[in-house]
Amino acid sequence: MKISSVAELIANSSFLRSEGYTSNDLNVVIQDILESIDIIGEDNLYLRNHLNLEETVSYFRKREVPLSGDEIVNGDFFVFEYIGHNGDMFLRQYNSLIDIEEQITSGSGITNPFTTYQVAIVNGGVKEYEIYFTDKTDGIEYKFIKDLHDALPEFQSIFSKSRKPKRREYEITDVRIVWID
């Protein structure tokens, strides 16, 4: 599959998920993906961004030369991951759907406050999912809502007048994924 097609899937399932965007908006997002994305996987070693392999650098870097869009991405199981606060953008190859599930439901997955988007791409298409978790404080299972349930424990609005630190309302445990067909 061409990376431009993968970038369009990613754009439509993350950055442009809401309705009302133009074809120009789509092209801008696809171009940003082609300039930024680092592709990790045994079948796609030639697509790695060598700048992110330097051991002396601990931050994500955009590509020196953007992908053209014609490069072929090999494999059937991928997760696109975007870390919004610093712009990390990875397409990681996996061996199976179970491997994807384990990654998305792990501590570094979608319930992590720093993970903005995770898009599962299976056999050339986006595989939609919902996440459920058990709140350790009350033992009840909830449907995970990204901006509601994963605020950092120390998060406090800059407009708050209180000096008292706020605590996270949820303690996320037993995360599970439900695939939407």
DSSP string computed for 50-87:
GGGG-TT--S----SS---S-PBPP-SEEEEEEETTTT
pLDDT at 161: 56
Residue 72 lies in a domain: yes
**Could you give the percent of the chain with pLDDT greater than 70?**
90
pLDDT at 71: 98
pLDDT at 151: 57
pLDDT at 60: 94
pLDDT at 171: 85
Residue 173 lies in a domain: no
For residue 77, give the amino acid letter: F
- The residue-averaged pLDDT of 1-19 equals 93
- The residue-averaged pLDDT of 19-44 equals 94
- The residue-averaged pLDDT of 75-94 equals 95
**pTM of the shown model:** 0.87
111-160 confidence digits (pLDDT tens)? 998 999 999 999 999 999 999 999 998 999 999 988 777 755 444 444 55
Parallel/antiparallel/unpaired status of strands 117-122 and 88-94:
unpaired
Which residues have a Cβ under 8 Å from the Cβ of 30 and sit 6 or more positions away? 4, 7, 8, 11, 69
Residue 165 lies in a domain: no
Query: How far apart are alpha carbons 14 and 33 in whole angstroms?
Result: 12
Average pLDDT, the chain: 90
pLDDT at 55: 85
User: What residues form DSSP beta bridges with 93?
Assistant: 78
Residue 147 lies in a domain: no
Residue 16: give the domain boundaries.
Answer: 3-128
Highest mean pLDDT among 4-8, 15-19, 138-142: 4-8
Nearest alpha-carbon partner for 7 in 52, 50, 69, 77: 69
- The Cα-based distances of 166 to 47, 137, 155, 172 in angstroms read 43, 16, 7, 17
Residue 36 lies in a domain: yes
Residue 155 lies in a domain: no
pLDDT at 154: 47
pLDDT at 146: 86
Query: How far apart are alpha carbons 70 and 159 in whole angstroms?
Result: 47
- The residue-averaged pLDDT of 2-12 equals 97
Residue 24 lies in a domain: yes
pLDDT at 168: 57
Number of domains in the chain: 1
Query: How far apart are alpha carbons 68 and 34 in whole angstroms?
Result: 7
Is the CB of residue 181 less than 8 Å from the CB of residue 127?
A: no
- The Cα-based distances of 136 to 69, 87, 106, 160 in angstroms read 45, 31, 16, 27
- The encoded tokens of residue 67 equal 């992908």
Residue 157 lies in a domain: no
